[in-house]
Amino acid sequence: MAKKQESTAVEATKIDARIPEGVLAEKWSNYKAHQKLVNPSNKRRLDIIVVGTGLAGSSAAASMAELGFNVLNFCIQDSPRRAHSIAAQGGINAAKNYQNDGDSVYRLFYDTIKGGDYRAREANVYRLAEVSNGIIDQCVAQGVPFAREYGGLLDNRSFGGAQVSRTFYAKGQTGQQLLLGAYSALSRQVGKGAVKLFSRYEMLDVVIIDGRARGIIARNLVSGKIERFFAHAVVVGSGGYGNTFFLSTNAMTSNASAAVQMYKKGAYISNPAYCQIHPTCIPVHGETQSKLTLMSESLRNDGRIWVPKLKEDAEAIRAGKKKATDLKEDERDYYLERRYPAFGNLVPRDVASRAAKERCDAGYGVGNTGLAVYLDFSSSIERLGENTIRARYGNLFQMYEKIVDENPYKMPMMIYPAIHYTMGGVWVDYELQTSVKGLFCIGEANFSDHGANRLGASALMQGLADGYFVLPYTIQNYLADQIQVPRLSTDLPEFDQAEKGIRAKIEKIMKIQGDTSVDSIHRELGLIMWDFVGMGRNKAGLETALEKIKAVRHEFWTKVYVPGVSTDLNVELEKALRMADFIEIGELIARDALMREESCGGHFREEYQTPDGEALRNDEEFSFASCWKFNGEGEEPELLKEALDYEFVHRQQRNYKA
């Protein structure tokens, strides 16, 4: 049933993703049937480090401990339950087809590939769709209180980029409930002693011995002590790098440091330019703002997005002379419904974000800054009643009112796009192993399944797929060859050297004693990223960004001021260490965006668009995943390419109009 292979002009390279042979639907079954396993008595003798306790990290740590491995789990917050997966609101996708609306594993696979603008690996995405149903069953068994119908069966809602209702949800707190489910499974293993938990610890380096990952160096954030940990394999699920932009919907400690550490030890960073800008966030209020707040995509089920049809009205609203509710129906431009009749307000995130920017840039934006559009519930409230809307989105409306001080039941919400998720990340093969042996990467931290744009409710699906159902299998294929390796001493020279490197870096930062705070440098980097590497990118802007990032790097390493001492709890030092890595990843994002001379998904190069402003891909030359290889400090990284040959899906211009 395999169709003709659609190859590209991309030169074949050394990058091998180790995708199993066979037709798409059978690859994962074949893999599992033939992979190597570790027998129970050997599992006890093998240690696995898992960094991160989000959906991917905690589900992986719990599942591998259940199998019998000895797991060490590291958490940057005071408890695994705080990981930022907890903030995901809308839901999790699965191909259950409970609604009888035509869903299937293939359709979920196809929607995800298309949503990712044909820049994801077919085999990974198909596997993701295949295991999606098991995730729902697993979570129900853990006691996750998903929303239910009166008959007692699970309820679903719709999300962007799909024409079926396949999203399972728990009010507007789905991420919280799924994370608490994984956290409970993890806690059960901690209670049993199968997982050793290290809270308030931050990974500072990965230790490589004879070409294999054999441990990490981590800092105890309370005591400031630097400690060494050995393991037969290291798994990193440390989340995305959205905070490079300073203002994002990520949590305050979300960072890119683990990714940069892996990169500097030989793991490739793939597609860093693919950053997701979420269309429905609460607009920026001022210069002292610390972060942005997302309003769930699920709101687009019942909310209609619009701006005034006339510029004069937009100007009057910005000046405070008119209110949204003063404009009559025919004075409003429901621009998503106008431009994309088939998907309307439920177009994918990248499309919705760009459309909002287009209207605001053209002078139709609202709010006092002009950088906002309306998300209006009045017609849904009229149709369904305020109580129904309250039951569906009550907590989101409450959150909006607290932040903006306006009642969204009476006045339309104001929203604007913001950085939310990063599709790019550490390159992994089909087994979720990086280009360093024994080093695995899961969840948002890896680049695997979303291509150039992630669909709503797919991040939770991918994090849990990796942790519950993929890694616990694939890591055994690696560990089966490691059963003869004893627990190594952390006094080995490789550990010494890694720790020495970290100590030198910390000392260097502490000694600068300049006059600029970490946050003010971070804010500067964020503005450069948003202005030149944000929603609309072009060659000149990206070149400017690269120059400016260089200046920020210089400023950081000569002017930063970190108070206190490094041998104690020191929040400013933690931030400074993360900041140094945000600069590195920021540069890689700009570099990748400059290299990719096409538009696809979340990466929009203004030079490459269709006459009506849609992203214009160049499959001939750019159908590949970029893999950036570190070549030493101060050196240009090398670009390697993993060719993306589509065997099963026919690539086409994404169309959400008809």
Partner 1 sequence: MEKNINLTLKIWRQAGPKVKGEFETYKLDNVSTDNSFLEMLDILNEKLVKERKEPIAFDHDCREGICGMCSLFINGHPHGLDGETTTCQLHIRRFHNGQTITIEPWRSAAFPVIKDLMVDRGAFDKIIQAGGYVSVNTGGVPDGNAIPISKVFADEAMDAASCIGCGACAATCKNGSAMLFVAAKVSQLALLPQGKVEAAHRAKAMVAKMDELGFGNCTNTGACEAECPKAISISHIARLNREFLSAKFKD
* Position 522 contacts partner 1 (CB under 8 A): no
* Position 595 contacts partner 1 (CB under 8 A): no
* Position 408 contacts partner 1 (CB under 8 A): no
The two structure tokens encoding residue 16: 């091998």
Shortest distance, CB of residue 144 to partner 1, whole angstroms? 8
Residue (of 48, 57, 111, 117) closest to 84 by Cα position: 57
The two structure tokens encoding residue 322: 């008119």
Q: Looking at 13, 30, 44, 143, which residue binds partner 1 (CB under 8 A)?
A: 143
Shortest distance, CB of residue 352 to partner 1, whole angstroms? 21
Per CB under 8 A, contacts with partner 1 among 525-554 are none
Per CB under 8 A, contacts with partner 1 among 552-591 are 561, 563-564, 569, 571-572
SS3 content of the chain, % helix, strand, coil (to 5): 40, 15, 40
* Position 80 contacts partner 1 (CB under 8 A): yes
The mark string for 451-470 relative to partner 1 (x by CB under 8 A, - otherwise) is -----------------xx-
Q: Which is nearer to partner 1, 170 or 529 (CB)?
A: 170
Which residue(s) pair with 646 in the sheet?
Answer: 6
* Position 177 contacts partner 1 (CB under 8 A): yes
Backbone angles phi, psi at 248, to 5 degrees: -155, 180
Q: Which is nearer to partner 1, 178 or 317 (CB)?
A: 178
Shortest distance, CB of residue 261 to partner 1, whole angstroms? 21
Q: Looking at 97, 156, 187, 261, which residue binds partner 1 (CB under 8 A)?
A: 187
Shortest distance, CB of residue 284 to partner 1, whole angstroms? 10
Shortest distance, CB of residue 569 to partner 1, whole angstroms? 5
- Measure CA 106 to chain center: 23
Which residue(s) pair with 581 in the sheet?
Answer: none
Q: How many residues bind partner 1 (CB under 8 A)?
A: 83
From 42-50, 167-175, 377-385, 491-499, give the range in contact with partner 1 by CB under 8 A. Answer: 167-175
* Position 59 contacts partner 1 (CB under 8 A): yes
| CA pair distance 56, 85, nearest whole angstrom | 9
Residue 347 and residue 336 in contact, taking contact as beta carbons nearer than 8 Å = yes
Shortest distance, CB of residue 255 to partner 1, whole angstroms? 12
Shortest distance, CB of residue 476 to partner 1, whole angstroms? 14
Per CB under 8 A, contacts with partner 1 among 234-273 are 249, 251-253
* Position 148 contacts partner 1 (CB under 8 A): yes
* Position 512 contacts partner 1 (CB under 8 A): no
- Measure CA 108 to chain center: 19
- Measure CA 579 to chain center: 19
Q: Looking at 129, 294, 373, 475, which residue binds partner 1 (CB under 8 A)?
A: 294
* Position 482 contacts partner 1 (CB under 8 A): no
Q: Looking at 10, 70, 74, 84, which residue binds partner 1 (CB under 8 A)?
A: 84
Q: Looking at 42, 199, 566, 618, which residue binds partner 1 (CB under 8 A)?
A: 199
Encode burial over 235-272: b for 16+ CB neighbours within 10 A, e otherwise: bbbbbbbbbbbbbbbbbebbbbbbbbbbbbbbbbbbbb
Q: Looking at 74, 118, 126, 146, which residue binds partner 1 (CB under 8 A)?
A: 146
Q: Which is nearer to partner 1, 144 or 207 (CB)?
A: 144
State the catalytic residues: 349
Q: Which is nearer to partner 1, 82 or 119 (CB)?
A: 82
Residue 371 and residue 360 in contact, taking contact as beta carbons nearer than 8 Å = yes
The two structure tokens encoding residue 162: 């799909």
Q: Looking at 16, 78, 620, 638, which residue binds partner 1 (CB under 8 A)?
A: 78
Shortest distance, CB of residue 319 to partner 1, whole angstroms? 17
From 148-156, 339-347, 590-598, 648-656, give the range in contact with partner 1 by CB under 8 A. Answer: 148-156
- Measure CA 144 to chain center: 23
Q: Looking at 19, 37, 147, 209, which residue binds partner 1 (CB under 8 A)?
A: 147
Q: Which is nearer to partner 1, 81 or 228 (CB)?
A: 81
Shortest distance, CB of residue 434 to partner 1, whole angstroms? 23
Burial class (CB in 10 A: 0-12, 13-18, 19+), 473: middle
Residue 560 and residue 573 in contact, taking contact as beta carbons nearer than 8 Å = no
Q: What is the DSSP string of 122-147?
A: HHHHHHHHHHHHHHHHHHHHHT----
From 60-68, 326-334, 546-554, 621-629, give the range in contact with partner 1 by CB under 8 A. Answer: 60-68
Q: What strands lie across the sheet with 332-333, from one edge to the other?
A: 275-281, 413-422, 373-376, 304-308, 332-333
From 36-44, 172-180, 444-452, 625-633, give the range in contact with partner 1 by CB under 8 A. Answer: 172-180
Q: Which is nearer to partner 1, 211 or 564 (CB)?
A: 564
Q: What is the DSSP string of 213-282?
A: EEEEEEEETTT--EEEEE-SEEEE-----GGGGSSSSS-TT--SHHHHHHHHTTPPEE-TT-EEEEEEEP
Q: What strands lie across the sheet with 212-220, from one edge to the other?
A: 201-209, 212-220, 226-230
Give me the sign of the Cα torsion angle 420, 426, 428, 431: negative
Per CB under 8 A, contacts with partner 1 among 606-645 are none
Shortest distance, CB of residue 336 to partner 1, whole angstroms? 25
First to last CA, the chain: 28
Q: Give me the residue label for tokens 């269709």.
A: 610
Q: What type of residue sits at position 86? A: I
From 110-118, 150-158, 589-597, 638-646, give the range in contact with partner 1 by CB under 8 A. Answer: 150-158
